[in-house]
């Protein structure tokens, strides 16, 4: 029997099989006999992203749709439903969120490799959106949960109103990166970023402009409004999923390069990541409502200052070692950039926030990196590109920005040490970064000795002032409550 005759028989049987299972289709799709796919034809092995290209999936999907879109439209069927029916799968609701609405296609017996990869991708995209939907459903946003405890712990002193849309934006900004398990690393995360970047319409559905912007709540009662945020967010997720699965063009863009041929995500990890983003934003919002700023001392290690004999006043900085959260006394230290961060009240510079930082970090409501480095990254971005420091998802890079957006003020090490008008640089917003009330007041010494009172988290030039600069016999102190 000739090879050409065998090939003709294979194609004929394939056409009959597809045609019998697909009454709504007008013409079958023919697999090119010239394409060599190697092990990608062995569906007993795990499906891989590299096979997406080897199997010519982009051309396969495009050609299939060109042949069948009229029939699908005539049957009033979405792309995914139409495709599933075409290969003999009972109609499922893979274009809507909800538990058990889209089954995992575990048995690929009887399917061509192209059919198997398409069916798996339909499920995987559904599962990606569904996992985010379930993550927000499982998050404890009540007054008795982490959100309520954060508000109670920080106890914002200002009854400040904030748009629910801001909190929705914080959630949306983090969504595209949520569902990739940490074990998969940056490579898979970049795949998801690619899918989102190739489908701008999906981003618009996830966060429609103006959603909830007109609804405001007191920051101290934010948990009362999170139910509304949850409902809106889940509806946005459903809308985005519907757009991807029902519209072929969007599906084709979203699934390009085999973006979702990857292990399924962990719902527990999803919930943890999503609530972590929201909690960091709530911590940030509560700090801002309490008139608290972040202070930054570049090229400064408080532990070294406490032990190298360079301080103006003995015991001005007490920092024997950093704990497991990176905290020492008033400061959180980042060894990667050799920078120290602290919290400081604009209303009372004598408050020490060690206990608050310990509570925030030990309870897992945020981390030093999320709170401090996140706020600095936000400030850097706004300083370069302008705009507001609202949480957002960069539409080009898909990097979540300003989940933490507390005002950052940088201690000015270059100004005259005894200049009472000079405390911070003006690079991150001069309006808030001014010397605090009582800064360098003369009330902590005595017996005619020059004294200067500085904020509890102070790490400015007065910490190491030399005798030539006027530091002889000068006492610098933190007025700590």
pLDDT at 446: 60
Q: Do 310 and 432 belong together in one domain? A: yes
Q: Do 327 and 387 belong together in one domain? A: yes
Calculate mean pLDDT across residues 377-400: 83
On whether residue 284 sits in a domain, the answer given is no
* Bridge partner list, 453: 477
Statement: residue 20 has pLDDT above 50: no
pLDDT at 31: 36
Statement: residue 117 has pLDDT above 90: yes
Question: Edge to edge, what strands does the sheet with 292-297 contain?
Answer: 327-328, 331-334, 339-345, 292-297, 408-410
Alpha carbon 287 to chain centroid, angstroms: 20
pLDDT at 301: 94
Q: Do 235 and 114 belong together in one domain? A: yes
Of 277, 304, 337, the domain-final residue: 277
Q: Do 99 and 152 belong together in one domain? A: yes
* Among 113-117, 212-216, 262-266, 347-351, the range of highest mean pLDDT: 113-117
Comparing 112 with 274, the larger pLDDT belongs to: 112
Of 232, 249, 277, the domain-final residue: 277
Judged by phi (left if over 0) then psi (alpha if -120 to 50, else beta), residue 438 lies in left
CA R_g for the chain: 29
Q: How far apart are CA 283 and CA 403, in angstroms?
A: 10
On whether residue 80 sits in a domain, the answer given is yes
Q: Do 57 and 196 belong together in one domain? A: yes
Percent pLDDT > 70 in the chain is: 79
Least confident of 29-43, 70-84, 320-334: 29-43
Q: Do 389 and 335 belong together in one domain? A: yes
> What's the mean per-residue pLDDT of the chain?
79
Q: Do 158 and 303 belong together in one domain? A: no
Domain around 469: 291-481
Percent pLDDT > 90 in the chain is: 29
Of 254, 277, 300, the domain-final residue: 277
Q: In degrees to the nearest 10, what's the CA dihedral of 465, 470, 471, 472?
A: 150
On whether residue 59 sits in a domain, the answer given is yes
Instruction: Specify the number of domains making up the chain.
Output: 2
Tokens of 399: 């990097």
Q: Do 53 and 167 belong together in one domain? A: yes
pLDDT at 2: 38
Comparing 179 with 50, the larger pLDDT belongs to: 50
Q: Tell whether pTM > 0.85.
A: no
Q: Do 301 and 378 belong together in one domain? A: yes
Q: Do 112 and 252 belong together in one domain? A: yes
On whether residue 283 sits in a domain, the answer given is no
Tokens of 239: 């809308």
Q: Do 62 and 188 belong together in one domain? A: yes
On whether residue 286 sits in a domain, the answer given is no
Least confident of 86-100, 282-296, 442-456: 442-456
Give the per-residue SS3 of 3-70.
HHHHHHHHHHHHHHHHHHHCCCCCCCCCCCCCCCCHHHHCCCCCCCHHHHHHCCHHHHHHHHHHHHHH
Where do we find the tokens 């509304």? 228
pLDDT at 180: 44
Residues 25 and 71 sit within 8 Å (Cβ to Cβ) = yes
On whether residue 467 sits in a domain, the answer given is yes
Statement: residue 386 has pLDDT above 50: yes
C-beta pairs of 92-97 under 8 Å, 24+ apart in sequence: 94/122, 94/123, 94/126, 94/245, 95/126, 95/241, 95/242, 95/244, 95/245, 95/246, 96/238, 96/241, 96/242, 97/129, 97/130, 97/133, 97/234, 97/237, 97/238, 97/241
On whether residue 282 sits in a domain, the answer given is no
Tokens of 159: 């009854």
pLDDT band at 113 (very low <50, low <70, confident <90, very high): very high
Q: Do 35 and 116 belong together in one domain? A: yes
Comparing 45 with 269, the larger pLDDT belongs to: 45
pLDDT at 17: 33
Looking at the chain, the number of H-run helices and the number of E-run strands are 16, 11
pLDDT digits (tens, 9 = 90+) for 412-421: 988 877 788 8
What is the number of other CB atoms lying within 10 angstroms of the CB of residue 91? Answer: 12
Calculate mean pLDDT across residues 402-409: 93
């Amino acid at each position: 029997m000739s090879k050409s005759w065998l090939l003709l028989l294979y194609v004929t049987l394939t056409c009959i099989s597809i045609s019998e299972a697909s009454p709504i289709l007008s013409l079958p799709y023919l697999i090119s006999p010239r394409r060599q796919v190697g092990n990608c034809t062995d569906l007993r092995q795990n499906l891989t992203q590299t096979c997406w290209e080897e199997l010519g999936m982009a051309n396969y999907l495009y050609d299939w749709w060109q042949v069948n879109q009229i029939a699908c439209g005539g049957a009033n069927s979405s792309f995914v439903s139409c495709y599933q029916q075409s290969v003999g799968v009972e109609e499922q609701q893979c274009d809507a969120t909800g538990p058990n609405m889209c089954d995992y296609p575990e048995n690929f017996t009887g399917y061509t490799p192209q059919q198997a990869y398409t069916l798996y991708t339909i499920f995987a995209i559904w599962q990606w959106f569904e996992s985010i939907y379930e993550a927000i459903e499982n998050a404890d946003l009540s007054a008795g949960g982490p959100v309520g405890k954060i508000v109670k712990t920080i106890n914002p002193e200002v009854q400040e109103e904030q748009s629910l849309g801001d909190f929705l934006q914080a959630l949306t900004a983090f969504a595209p990166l949520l569902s990739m398990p940490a074990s998969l690393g940056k490579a898979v995360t970049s795949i998801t970023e690619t899918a989102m970047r190739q489908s701008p319409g999906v981003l618009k559905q996830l966060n429609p402009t103006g959603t909830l912007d007109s609804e405001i709540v007191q920051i101290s009662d934010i948990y009362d409004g999170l139910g509304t945020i949850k409902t809106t967010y889940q509806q946005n997720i459903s809308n985005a999923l519907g757009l991807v699965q029902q519209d072929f063009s969007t599906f084709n863009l979203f699934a390009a390069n085999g973006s979702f041929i990857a292990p399924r995500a962990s719902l527990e990890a999803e919930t943890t990541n999503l609530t972590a983003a929201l909690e960091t934003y709530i911590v940030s919002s509560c700090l801002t409502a309490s008139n608290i700023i972040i202070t930054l001392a570049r090229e400064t290690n408080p532990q070294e200052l406490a032990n190298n004999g360079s301080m103006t006043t003995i015991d001005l900085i007490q920092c024997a070692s950093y704990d497991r959260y990176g905290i020492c006394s008033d400061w959180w230290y980042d060894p990667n950039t050799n920078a120290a961060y602290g919290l400081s009240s604009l209303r009372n510079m004598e408050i020490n926030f060690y206990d608050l930082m310990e509570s925030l970090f030990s309870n897992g409501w945020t981390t030093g990196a999320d709170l401090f480095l996140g706020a600095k990254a936000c400030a850097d971005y706004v300083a370069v590109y302008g705009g507001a420091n609202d949480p957002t998802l960069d539409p080009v890079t898909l990097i979540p920005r300003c989940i933490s957006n507390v005002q950052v003020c940088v201690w000015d090490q270059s100004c005259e040490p005894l200049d009472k008008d000079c405390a911070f640089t003006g690079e991150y917003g001069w309006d808030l970064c001014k010397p605090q009330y009582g800064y360098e007041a003369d009330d902590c010494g005595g017996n005619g000795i020059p004294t200067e009172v500085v904020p509890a988290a102070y790490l400015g030039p007065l910490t190491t002032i030399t005798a030539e600069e006027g530091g002889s016999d000068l006492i610098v102190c933190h007025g700590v409550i």
